[in-house]
Structure 1
Amino acid sequence: MNLEQAMQSFLLESAELLQEMESILLEAEADSITAEQLGALFRCMHTIKGSAGLFGLDDIVHFSHQAENLLDQLRDGKLQLDAELSGLLLRSHDHVKAQLAALEAGQPLPAGEAAAIEAEMAQRLQAEPPPSASTDETHPPLPSSDWLLTLRFGPDVLRNGMDPASFIRYLATLGEIKTIASRSSSLPADEHFDPERNYLRLELQFYGAVDAEQLDGVFAFASEGSQFIISPRTQLEQHLAQALSLGDAAEQQCSRQLWQQWGLLPEPQPAGETAATTPDEPPCTAEPLVPTAMANPPADSEGKTTRSSESRFIKVEAGKLDSLINLVGELVIAGAATSLLARRHGNGPLLESTAVLSGLIEQIRDQSLAMRMVPIGETFSRFGRVVHDVSRALGKEIRLQVSGADTELDKSMVDKLADPLTHLVRNAIDHGIEDVAQRRAAGKPDAGHLWLDAYHDSGSVVIEVADDGGGLSRQRILDKARQRGMLHGDSPLAEQDVFRLIFEAGFSTAAQVSNLSGRGVGLDVVKQNIEQLRGTVEVESEEGLGTTFRLRLPLTLAIIDGFLVTVGSATFVLPLDSVVECMALPEAALATAAMGRFSLRGEVLPLLNLRRFLELDGQPGHRQNVVVIQTGDCKVGLVVDALNGEFQTVIKPLSPLFRQLKAISGSTILGNGEVALILDVLALTQHARAQEHMLYLDGQEAASLLPDHWQHHNDGQTGKTS
């Protein structure tokens, strides 16, 4: 590992520590903080300070040291965690995070609010009450004392991207290094010398107001394969005995000579104790060592078992991974073409070979897609701070509850979900959840609740943003829509159709729009962003009880398992995860099928004839088939001519000319080179449900129920079904 890799490891670990710190502070406000959490808070900032010291990042060391002092007082019970102190620690967290972000971007570290935050921390420390007698006995001030350190850095410390001199430099910030010497009694010669191996042995005398735990923490990052003996000067004999047990006879002799020079061993040891040393052994050297600036560590070598934790993860550029997925997609298409040729020629060995090849391609496809799948919990974790800051600004008390954080989704989709989710969360906080006075008047608890949940359902990922606020007013939405000229007359509308109105651009029912959000304002952007991901947005709300926004998204945007169907001369693909079952359409069911219904084992399902819906030429064959698809709790039957089985589908985006087609979500290339369209199951399900609702209403009123983009299809089908 080179220095750049070591820095990336430091930045990654620091980001994880800061995330842990933020989570603990936010949880502590919702519940009492435990001693373990207090200790974890201290260790987060202490570790960042120590790691920054190894890289000579003095600004980060200085600021984090002040925060560490505050957390130390908090851990010892000398300070109590309240809202103000929690806010101060969160601001400290933000400043360190900004410093690390600037460091990663290669920019100067920002000053920001450092001076103001440090002044508040100093005021807090000065204002702390004098400790009681029991506190004095439990946590007395640390006196300055002498320490002995025997340091045997591991042989791979340089390969792991660490410089022993950096640890010594950081140690010097905690006190005074009185004496230090290096020992090289076992340095090999000639071809046996390995320039990437560490042979450094150090002996130190240190003076400072520290304890053993702090000194151990200095060398925590180099503990792998290393041996460190740290003892107070008062335990001289025990320390020397332990140090002598680490080395061979030559190292023992070298150590004795050094300690005699320092006065730790006043009299020379008897000759009999060093009889094991032979004239052929290399001479003992003990030279003063002055800590210098960190040098670039040697390049890494391969095959080292001590670095197993690092070898488990490899950081790959996102562009390279996208290129791999594209190549896998082309491999899937080429494999399908090969399988088709093998079936046409009927060659047995060739068919067997292509079957094995198809299996391997499927495994490569699954593994490649799995590399792009990431838990959505990383996105969810951001909203803890959003809820904290926005609710405080509005004077509300809101509790965030997250579930399903381990649900995996394509990384490209996760990145694009941040903005829509942020808007929905801020909307719920600002206009969804009432203030304390309104909640009390409604008989609700003072604290409102906001839920974020994610789960898999029917081959899709569902993300829910729910609140227990005032809910959506159906009547206010209708009144506002009529004022804007969006509705005419008093035609009854289904609940989902009413709620869809809030996604129109500029639509809002809020009596007062704040600078944060307005219930309905900007939801058109949320809908557009989700639809670009081939997803849909559903709304459930009950006035006075709360609102739930449900985002339904496909698992991936690259490759899916598809099911091929034929209608006339056209071939279409349905996502296999949404297909429940297939069957021939019985002649006895033709009459009800013409009415847009189908009875499946006593369950009446909406039925959509794809030939009529897509206005395809030609007449249906003697045998019609039904493919039952499911989205959420809704099942719909699709009437097709032929069922062609499963097919690995590489999703190709549509041309901009056709992106407004709601029934088509993409295209793919078949093994014979033809293009097949991928049907949008969610859109088809919505249309079939709207068509079913039409049957209970009269002509023109029924047509007004359907969204504008379905009017053309409805006009072509109403005459045939009514």
Structure 2
Amino acid sequence: MDAEKLDKLINLVGELVTAGAGTSLLADNLGDSALNESVSVLNSLLEAVRDAALELRMVAIGATFSRFQRVVRDIAHELDKEIELVINGAETELDKSVIEKIGDPLTHLVRNAIDHGIESPAIRVAAGKPEKGTITLNAYHDSGNIVIEVSDDGKGLDPEIIRAKAIEKQLLDENAVLSRDELLNLIFEPGFSTASQVSNLSGRGVGMDVVKRNISELRGRVEILSQIGQGSTMRIILPLTLAIIDGFIIGVADEQFVVPLDAVQECLELKKLPDNPVDAPYFNLRGQVLPLIYLRHCLGIEGRYPARQNVVVVQSGGTSAGLVVDCLLGEFQTVIKPLGKLFSEVGCISGSTILGNGSVALILDIHGLIDTMMGEEQLLLQ
């Protein structure tokens, strides 16, 4: 199917979703039960049309993975290394527009794994490893996201070597205190390279920063898992689609925001108990400590406090947190509108949408919010 025709269909479905939300709002205000029932049927059909239209844009990632067979073979031959490529999850589907934009970042990660990750046959044998190295491409769905992993069984990333190189290239102060994960993430800094000499494949310090930027533009993120001597895994986490998602609307003062429904676990009332005082940083959730994010403070929103507040329990990347909000406004099919460059540095906002009443609501980036919260906590502890 022609890509332009498909994009036009998705855009029209998006406008239908917005118009349907407006009709639902009017029907609720009128209070006519027959009209509400009719609108409910219409919205269920609209949701089915939306899902069917989005399925047309879904493409298996196997074709993208398969083209790396030749890349691995050619570069391994050039570097006198023996490497096998293993592909898992080739049937996993994701949005066609994401497939088109993920090719270059994946290529760089695979080349990096061959050049920096996998050791030469002699070194591998001396370390008690098989002479032939293995690079694995894996894809799977997780909580409304698609996860793509590029793994190798090479030497892994050494945080101390990364630290020394970052200090040498003046990317890091020698007195700076960083966690292991923060040191590993230095490889995404512009100009960073651990290569001892410049070659056709590496040493220029250009690449990993571009990989991170390209993935961020897709509203995704990169995580690094590495063990010295055992190998590394670059994990890319991307939204399943860039067009329409199911959202949950929350209100803070006079502002409304959308949380991706896949990230929402449950909603609770924030009770002012002795073990949960006003503006407490944590909440006692059935015996578990739940960090709280006060959106009013985090986003600088002014306005009267309500008689009671609510906690929306969200999860991202295995970390849970509670968003403290004024009111809960229910589910909503969200047509994602991209933000301009003015918002490119705002880590806790991933996009915007138009609500049924015509007003604009910002879509929250849950992972960005949790990262921001963790960063502020670390600053307070220092």
Pairwise same-fold verdict (TM > 0.5) = yes
Partner of 1:658: 343
Is 2:22 the partner of 1:337? yes
| Residues 519/443 of structure 1: CA separation in 2 closer, same or farther (3 Å cut) | farther
Of 476, 496, 517, 2:181 maps to 496
1:420 to 102, 105, 108: 105
> Does residue 689 in structure 1 map to residue 368 in structure 2?
no
Contact 1:457 1:632 survives alignment (8 Å): no
- Find the partner of 1:566 among 238, 244, 251: 251
- Alpha-carbon distance between aligned partners in 2 of 1:451 and 1:376, rounded to the nearest angstrom: 14
Whether 2:352 is the aligned partner of 1:667: answer: yes
Is 1:367–2:47 an aligned residue pair?
Answer: no
Structure 2 equivalent of residue 320 of structure 1:
5
Offset at 1:391? 0.7
**TM-score normalised by the chain length of structure 1:** 0.52
CA contact (8 A) 1:324 1:368 kept: yes
Residue matched to 1:393: 78
Q: How does 1:575-594 map to 2 (within 5 A)?
A: 575-588=260-273, 591=276, 594=279
After superposition, the C-alpha distances for 1:666-721 in whole angstroms (9 at most, x for unaligned) are: 110110010000011121122233334445x32xxxxxxxxxxxxxxxxxxxxxxx
Cα distance per residue 1:342-364 (max 9 Å; x no partner): 11011121111111110111000
Tell me the distance in 2 between the aligned counterparts of 1:639 and 1:618. 15
- Aligned partner of 1:642 among 327, 347, 354: 327
Q: Secondary structure of the residue that 1:621 maps to in structure 2? A: coil
From 429, 441, 455, give the equivalent of 2:114.
429
**Matched residue count:** 382
* Equivalent position SS for 2:242: coil
Letter in 1 for 2:251: T
Q: Deviation at 1:518?
A: 4.5
2:211 to 518, 526, 531: 526
Residue identity matched to 1:352: E
Taking the TM superposition and a 5 Å limit, the aligned residue runs for 1:248-267 are none
Q: Is the partner of 2:194 in helix, strand or coil?
A: coil
Question: How far, CA to CA, are the matches of 1:519 and 1:351 in structure 2?
Answer: 62
Q: For 1:422 and 1:384, how far apart are their aligned partners in 2?
A: 11
SS of match in other structure, 2:321: strand
User: Shift of residue 653 of structure 1?
Assistant: 1.1
Equivalent AA in structure 1 for residue 338 of structure 2 = P
Per-residue CA distance 1:12-65 (angstroms, 9 max, x = gap)? xxxxxxxxxxxxxxxxxxxxxxxxxxxxxxxxxxxxxxxxxxxxxxxxxxxxxx
CA distance in 1, matches of 2:358, 2:369: 26
**SS across alignment from 1:587:** coil
Secondary structure of the corresponding residue to residue 588 of structure 1? coil
Amino acid of the structure 1 residue aligned with 2:362:
L
Q: Give, in whole Å, the separation in 1 of the partners of 2:116 and 2:283.
A: 43
Change (3 A) 1:691 1:605: farther
* 8 Å CA contact 1:407, 1:455 repeated in 2: yes
Would you say the 8 A contact 2:85–2:134 is kept in 1? yes
Identity of aligned residues (%): 58
Contact persistence 1:636–1:688 (CA under 8 A) = no
Look up the equivalent residue of 2:181 and give its one-letter code: Q
Q: Which amino acid aligns with 1:336?
A: A
Give the Cα separation in 2 of the matches to 1:371 and 1:664: 28
CA apart distance, 1:458: 1.4
Q: Give the distance between the partners of 1:680 and 1:386, measured in 2 at CA.
A: 35
The residue correspondences of 1:22-171 to structure 2 (distance < 5 A) are: none
Q: Give the SS at the match of 1:409.
A: strand
| 1:512 match: secondary structure | coil
Quick check: 2:257–2:363 contact (8 Å CA) kept in 1?
Answer: yes
Tell me how far 1:407 sits from its aligned partner: 0.9
Contact 1:431 1:518 (C-alpha < 8 Å) held by counterparts: no
Residue 162 of structure 2: aligned partner = 477
User: Distance in 2 between the 1:660 and 1:654 partners?
Assistant: 11
Higher relative contact order by CA 8 Å / sep ≥ 6: 1 or 2? 2
CA contact (8 A) 1:427 1:518 kept: no
Distance in 1 (CA, whole Å) between partners of 2:61 and 2:278 is 42
Q: In the alignment, residue 448 of structure 1 is paired with which amino acid?
A: G
Query: Paired residue for 1:453, among 122, 135, 138?
Result: 138
Pair 1:440–1:521, CA change in 2 (3 A): farther
Tell me the C-alpha RMSD between the 2 structures.
Answer: 1.7
- How far, CA to CA, are the matches of 1:508 and 1:625 in structure 2? 46
TM-score, with length taken from structure 2: 0.96
Higher percent of residues as strand: 2
Local SS of the residue matching 2:273: helix
Instruction: Supply the distance in 1 between the matched residues of 2:67 and 2:352 (Cα, whole angstroms).
Output: 35
Is this contact kept in 2: 1:606–1:692, CA < 8 A? no
Gaps of 5+ in 1: 1-315, 699-722
Q: Given the alignment of the two structures, is residue 616 of structure 1 paired with residue 301 of structure 2, yes or no?
A: yes
Q: 1:538 aligns with which of 219, 223, 232?
A: 223
Distance 2:350 2:3 in 1: 25
Question: Conserved in 1, the CA contact under 8 Å of 2:353 and 2:360?
Answer: yes
Are the aligned partners of 1:563 and 1:576 in contact in 2 as well (CA < 8 Å)? yes
Is the Cα–Cα contact under 8 Å of residues 420 and 529 in structure 1 kept in the other structure? Answer: yes
- Letter aligned with residue 553 of structure 1: L
**What is the aligned partner in structure 2 of residue 717 from structure 1?**
none
* Uncovered stretches (5+) of structure 2, i.e. residues with no partner: none
Q: What is the rounded CA distance, in whole Å, between the counterparts of 2:40 and 2:147 in structure 1?
A: 35
Q: CA deviation at 1:494?
A: 1.6
Counterparts of 1:518 and 1:349, CA distance in 2: 69
Secondary structure of the residue aligned to 2:361 is strand
TM-fit CA distance, 1:585: 1.2
User: Deviation at 1:519?
Assistant: 9.5
Q: Which residue is equivalent to 1:238? A: none
Query: What do residues 183-223 of structure 1 show as CA deviations (whole Å, max 9, x unaligned)?
Result: xxxxxxxxxxxxxxxxxxxxxxxxxxxxxxxxxxxxxxxxx
Deviation string, structure 1 residues 498-554 (Cα, Å, up to 9, x no partner): 112110111012223321234964100000100000000111111211111010000
Counterpart of 1:124 in structure 2 is none
The within-5 A match list for 1:268-283 is none
TM-superposed deviation, 1:591: 4.5
Counterpart residue identity of residue 3, structure 2: A
Distance 1:512 1:631 in 2: 39
Deviations 1:623-678 (A, max 9, x none): 11111111131112111111111000000111232233211111101100100000
Contact 2:191 2:204 in 1 (8 A): no
What residue identity is the alignment partner of 2:90? A
- Give the C-alpha shift of residue 483 in structure 1: 2.5
Structure 1: how far apart are the matches of 2:307 and 2:262? 28
Q: Are the aligned partners of 1:426 and 1:517 in contact in 2 as well (CA < 8 Å)? A: no
